[in-house]
Structure formats: C-alpha cells, structure tokens
Amino acid sequence: MHRVLIGKNYFFVGNDFISIAAILIKMRRPYLVYIAIFSLLTFSRCSDHSSGNGELVFVNNMDMLVAFNPSTPRNIVPYKNAHSGMFVCIVDSENVFSVNYEMKNRNISNEPLKRVKVGAWINMQQEGSDPNLAIDIRDSSGKTLDWIAVNSKDLSKKTMEWQWMELTVDLTVKKRNAPENSLRIYAFNQKGASCLVDDMEVRYEK
C-alpha cells in the first residue's frame, strides 16, 4: 500500500492504482485520479484508511452519483459554487429529503460498531431554511427502532455560505449495532426554503 497526498488529503492505495494514476498524470488528467479515489470511497467498503484508529469511512460528494448512476436523482443538480466538484443535492419544498446512505451493520464490519459520526456541508440558499441531519436505525424488517436528528440551531443563519453540520450517535445502546440492523442517513429540510448538501460523510468507530 502507498500513502498518496492529493490536494490536502492523504489516501491509501494499492500498486495497481499507482500505475493507473501515473498514466493519468502523464496524460495531464490528474483530476481523474481524484475522481477515481472518491469512487472508491463512495462505493467500496473502506478499512482503517483514514486515521489508523479503526474508523470506517464512507463519503458522497454527489458527483459520483452522476458519474456512476444513469438514473441520477432529480435533486442532484450542477452548482458552480459546490463545496467540491460540480454537483450538489438540493433540499427544498419539492425535494424534502436528500439522497440517503443505507447499509446493514453486518456489511460494514464483523466487529461490533461503537459509534457513528455523520457530517455534511450545508449551504442555506434562503432565509428560513432549517436543514437537519438524521439517522434512522431499522431492523431486518425495515421497522424503525430509533431515530436521531440534529437541526441547524448551532449554524450561522447566513445564506449562501457552506457550513459543516455533524451528528454523533452511540451505537452500543438499545442494540443499535445489531448485525441485521441498518442505518439510513440523510438530510432533510423542515421548511420550504431551499438548502444545498454536499460532501456527506459517514464515519464508524469499531
């Protein structure tokens, strides 16, 4: 494995990826290396690559939904001032919920998960916007066992600015980390005023 610095971030990649990356750089297409890494992070199970402390990390920068999904959700839209890349997820009166992350605990780790930290960059486009981050914990039948959310009360009410919102949840209580349970994670807007969501991140600690 090799530790590679791209932009301000370090990534751990294998020998095959290094060879492909070298070709892309010679072709003067270094941005494709960044896109390829984000696809690995978004669609693959990631193991201990972020900080070496047993974290499992999944990210979605919205661009990958466009690049790899022929049926892109209608609320994934281009935005010239995206937090990263070229696309964001809009949440408004017509699109009350963002795209969501959902995986069973057993598909993330064979070890019991201790906690999950969810974060996203939020941009309130209009006054009165009230973005929220939510974690819906469901059993194997799809029934909601627990629902936890955080609202925008700690964010600045300034519009047209990117702000980080996060929510941390203990998975060791109420059997939240049972292998057959799944976590559905998404952003939603309590009011009709629109907001944008970008670079959603899910970090598990095991």
45 token code pair? 């199970």
Domains of the chain: 1-44 (no CATH), 51-205 (2.60.120)
Q: What confidence tier does 71 reach under pLDDT thresholds 50, 70, 90?
A: confident
pLDDT digits (tens, 9 = 90+) for 2-34: 444 444 444 444 444 444 445 445 555 555 445
Q: From its phi and psi, is residue 21 left (phi > 0), alpha (psi between -120 and 50) or beta?
A: alpha
pLDDT digits (tens, 9 = 90+) for 120-154: 999 999 998 999 999 999 999 999 999 999 999 88
Cα separation, 161 vs 157, whole angstroms: 9
Residues in contact with 30: Cβ distance below 8 Å, sequence separation at least 6, in sequence order: 24
Instruction: Compute the distance between CA of residue 175 and CA of residue 171 in angstroms, rounded to an integer.
Output: 7
pTM over 0.85: no
Percent of the chain at pLDDT exceeding 70: 74
Residue 205 CA, chain-centre distance (Å), reads 15
Q: Are 197 and 91 in contact (CB under 8 A)?
A: yes
